[in-house]
Structure 1
Amino acid sequence: MSKEMSKEISEEVSKESPKEFEIAREFEVDATPEQVWGAITAGTGGWLWPMEEPEPREGGKGPFGSTVTAWDPPHHYTNRVEDVEGISEQTLNQLDYTIEPRDEGRRAWVRYVHSGIFVDDWDNQYDAAGRHTDFYLHTLRQYLTYFDRRPVVFTTFDGPDASKASDSFAAVGRALGLADDTAVGARVQARGPEGQVLDAVVDFRNPYFLGLRTEDALIRVFGRDHWGYPVGMSVHDFAPGADAKEDEAAWKGWLDGVFSQP
């Protein structure tokens, strides 16, 4: 779940019923433990969003006001924050990564645990956070497999209020030129800003999220209309000379245009 979405949810609820949560995932990836470590500590713009690198020690400063509580490269990293910056109604947040080598260090096994405390509207927040987690960790694997350590520019934005309406996420897929039954793994020619044709692979698709991978970019669509919020997009652009402001102007204009049609 994005920081902006979590903040919006939190601002609508009170602190009447705080409740702990835990979201745990395990996966293997064709990358070394050192590559995974680099992606989660320094290369976050390639798969999540850019964050300040943690101070490389226990007790050091982590992103978003957190504290590093475990630092054992490339095996174990944890950060924890008691008062989540910008999300007043989430009173605790902890991210924990455990990384082990596989195949004599050529591959890695990763266990990721996101835990903390949500307040009222717990079911909605927990559902959104869990589904976002699956998409973000898939994008991490795509980054490690296809773009590891390449320079990247990142942009993320929401669609207009009209994209809160039911079926908005599906409308974005159709505007990209995808059929409703275009499946993961399909090679497509997607329609982008100003009619640009994008040779892409559908690397992720379910009723909530869509991922397109081109030679130089990971394009992510977030169907947050399912939780009553605008559809969102993120673009991780690895092309030489890429410009985040230009990407945002082009893609946000395109997304706004999807919902400005009569």
Structure 2
Amino acid sequence: MSKEFEIAREFEVDATPEQVWDAITSNTGGWMWPSEPPEPRVGGKGAMGSTVTAWDPPHRYTNRAEDVEGVEEQSLNQLDYTIEPREGGRRAWVRYVHSGILVDDWDNQYDAACRHTDFYLHTLRQYLTEFGGRPVVAFTTFDGPDTSKTADAFVAVGRALGLGDDTAEGTRVQARGPEGRRLDAVVDFRNPYFLGLRTDDAMIRFFGRNHWGYPVGISVHDFAPGADAKAVEAAWQDWLNGVFSQS
């Protein structure tokens, strides 16, 4: 049964309104998946088949899609960003509102959208404060095998990284990456649904989508000069498949 939804979040960040605006409208893959940047005008083309319905840099950006590309569970999707200066423009206050219509499995989809929102906006703040708007060199995102849909799948991911079940957010770790490579990283986000690792040159995001009936996923935002997206994806895909191999 179709039903409307709205997810609203507010936060302050140590970045100027202009830096926040650039991060949310450039669509390079610095904190979200890359896509064509929106046409800078009301009525212009936005991401995922949307239309720009508000364009007031660096204060307000809204896009709206009535047929959401590649998303069967939604018939309407709107993203609205309001940005205001704080402390004489040295900081920014951001209000984010995601609204629309979910057409199937409402409670499950709404819960997933709410929890993903918190993780995505955290990644935005990490990008702004830790990477200072550095251009992303390589971005990749992919899912694990069907065996990563089990109830305890995300616990296995943390353990495969060498993290204790009690390794807390903010801890610096030597995580086990692809081919046993050690990653000097900070656990910048951790809850039962998501895990974020931040190195000097990358943000590696782990998505426990098994909680909503989907495979575990990984996204990598790599800012290192010369980073190769295909090589990064192949390495981490092999790592993730290995976590859930039957052997």
TM class by shorter-chain length?
A: over 0.9
Indicate the SS of the match to 1:45. coil
Report how far residue 149 of structure 1 moved. 2.6
1:177 to 146, 150, 162: 162
Aligned to 2:29: 45
Aligned to 1:69: 53
Indicate the SS of the match to 1:141. helix
| 2:135 pairs with 1:135 | no
Aligned to 1:101: 85
Report how far residue 131 of structure 1 moved. 0.2
Report how far residue 83 of structure 1 moved. 1.0
Counterparts of 1:198 and 1:56, CA distance in 2: 39
Counterparts of 1:58 and 1:105, CA distance in 2: 25
Counterparts of 2:126 and 2:165, CA distance in 1: 23
Indicate the SS of the match to 2:129. helix
Report how far residue 148 of structure 1 moved. 2.8
Deviations 1:168-199 (A, max 9, x none): 10100000000000000000000000111000
Matches within 5 A, 1:48-197: 48-152=32-136, 153-197=138-182
Indicate the SS of the match to 2:98. strand
C-alpha contact (below 8 Å) 2:154/2:210 kept by paired residues: yes
TM-score, length-scaled by structure 2: 0.98
Report how far residue 150 of structure 1 moved. 1.5
Greater displacement, 54-63 / 146-155: 146-155
Indicate the SS of the match to 2:40. coil
Unaligned runs of at least 5 residues, structure 1? 1-16
**What amino acid is aligned across from residue 219 of structure 1 in structure 2?**
I
Counterparts of 1:86 and 1:172, CA distance in 2: 27
The aligned length equals 246
Counterparts of 1:228 and 1:62, CA distance in 2: 29
C-alpha contact (below 8 Å) 1:43/1:149 kept by paired residues: no
TM-score, length-scaled by structure 1: 0.92
**What amino acid is aligned across from residue 21 of structure 2 in structure 1?**
W
Matches within 5 A, 1:10-21: 17-21=1-5
Aligned to 2:220: 235
CA RMSD of aligned residues (A): 0.9
After TM superposition, where is structure 1 displaced by more than 6 Å over at least 4 residues in a row? Answer: none
1:30 to 2, 8, 14: 14
Aligned to 2:185: 200
C-alpha contact (below 8 Å) 2:28/2:135 kept by paired residues: no
2:199 to 188, 205, 214: 214
Indicate the SS of the match to 2:179. helix
Report how far residue 44 of structure 1 moved. 4.5
1:258 to 232, 236, 243: 243
Counterparts of 1:225 and 1:44, CA distance in 2: 27
Could you tell me the percent identity over the aligned residues? 82
Aligned to 1:246: 231
C-alpha contact (below 8 Å) 2:27/2:36 kept by paired residues: no
